[in-house]
Amino acid sequence: MINIILNEWKMLVRNRVFIYLTIFFVLSLILVVWMGIIQNSTQQEYRTNAQKHVRKQWDNLEAMNPHRAAHYGSYAFKPNNLLNSMDGGINDVTGNVIQLEGHVQNEIVYSEASQSLSISKFGKLKSSLLLQYVIPLFLIFLAYGSISNEKKTQRLKLLIFQGISMTRLIFAKSLSIWIYGLSLLLITIVFQSLLISSDPEVFQRLALLILSYGSYYYIITSLATYFSARLKNNTSALSAILATWILWTIFLPKIWGNAVEKIYPLPSRMAFKAAMKEERSKGIEVITQLIKEGNN
């Protein structure tokens, strides 16, 4: 099996197109990581300045009753970390600032207008976009090309005649392609980690991120290699692989989201705020009664 993996890598390294594409991917990942770090640092600087300004306003308040000061309120800003430079998550939609005010439970607001394109699935170029969509697609073509070349040169039959089982061959070839994808992933995360110092908790999440992406890449490469080896027609094999990728990465998330929304519909923002206002208007006695009923 090791010989198959080493032979696969030798064939890849001899391919100039593969070398050029690898250089392109590495440079693209480094550039996108660098741009994400700069943007993340700029946003963090804006939040730090805003937090200092809010704190200065609070410190310069005239002497007043504490109850009145609580009604004046303040602002809390959600901090940025290493993961934000890779993927903004829901911050671009929900916002990252919350107003603290006595007797009032405010929502997180003030998402940046410059992030409005992030609402689109492909609206923002970050390393997560390349890791989730572009690199897996490249791994699919690598796995497909690996098996199709073996079929064209009749080496696939020769390997089987030599006693290598098809299952073992598929596993070895998918593993060799998976190592390449994992290498690109590690280059991205290591480069990003070196440029930004962070706390141990974030690095634990990064380890989980590596495990998740690594599993995703392995499933993709295994399916691509399996379809390429089992289907006799190369066109059918490539079509099946691409159809699986499109269904998995584009349609299934939307389908599951819509299905959950239909089964467990959420109230609109206006309806939720109106219901909260109505409950608060009933007084603390009603709220206490509801809590007791929930505990029982």
> Tens of pLDDT along 198-231?
677 778 888 888 999 999 999 999 999 888 888 8
Q: Residue 76 domain-assigned?
A: no
Residue 62 region by backbone torsions, left for phi larger than 0, else alpha for psi between -120 and 50, else beta = beta
Whether the per-residue pLDDT at 3 is higher than 80: the answer is no
Q: Residue 153 domain-assigned?
A: yes
Q: Band the pLDDT of 119: cuts 50, 70, 90.
A: very low
Q: Which residues on adjacent β-strands are paired with residue 101?
A: 104
Please state the φ and ψ torsions of residue 40, each to the nearest 5 degrees. -65, -40
Structural domain tally of the chain? 1
Q: Where are the beta strands (DSSP E) in the chain?
A: 74-77, 97-101, 104-105
Q: Residue 34 domain-assigned?
A: no
Tell me the mean pLDDT in the region 50-68. Answer: 81
Q: Residue 160 domain-assigned?
A: yes
Q: Is 70 exposed, middle or buried (0-12, 13-18, 19+ CB in 10 A)?
A: middle
Residue 204: what pLDDT?
A: 83
Residue 250: what pLDDT?
A: 83
Q: Residue 212 domain-assigned?
A: yes
Residue 292: what pLDDT?
A: 63
**Between these two residues, 40 and 136, which has the higher pLDDT value?**
136
Residue 270: what pLDDT?
A: 79
Q: Residue 177 domain-assigned?
A: yes
Whether the per-residue pLDDT at 117 is higher than 60: the answer is no
Per-chain mean pLDDT for the chain: 79
Residue 197: what pLDDT?
A: 61
Q: Residue 93 domain-assigned?
A: no
Q: How far apart are CA 240 and CA 234, in angstroms?
A: 10
Tell me the mean pLDDT in the region 46-68. Answer: 82
Residue 216: what pLDDT?
A: 93
Domain that holds residue 206: 2-26+122-237
User: Which amino acid, one-letter code, is at 232?
Assistant: K
Residue 214: what pLDDT?
A: 93
Whole-number percent of the chain with pLDDT over 70: 86
SS3 74: strand
Q: Residue 214 domain-assigned?
A: yes
pLDDT tens-digit readout, 135-189: 999 999 998 888 887 777 777 777 777 777 778 888 888 899 999 999 999 998 8
pLDDT tens-digit readout, 257-273: 788 888 888 777 778 77
Tell me the mean pLDDT in the region 94-121. Answer: 63
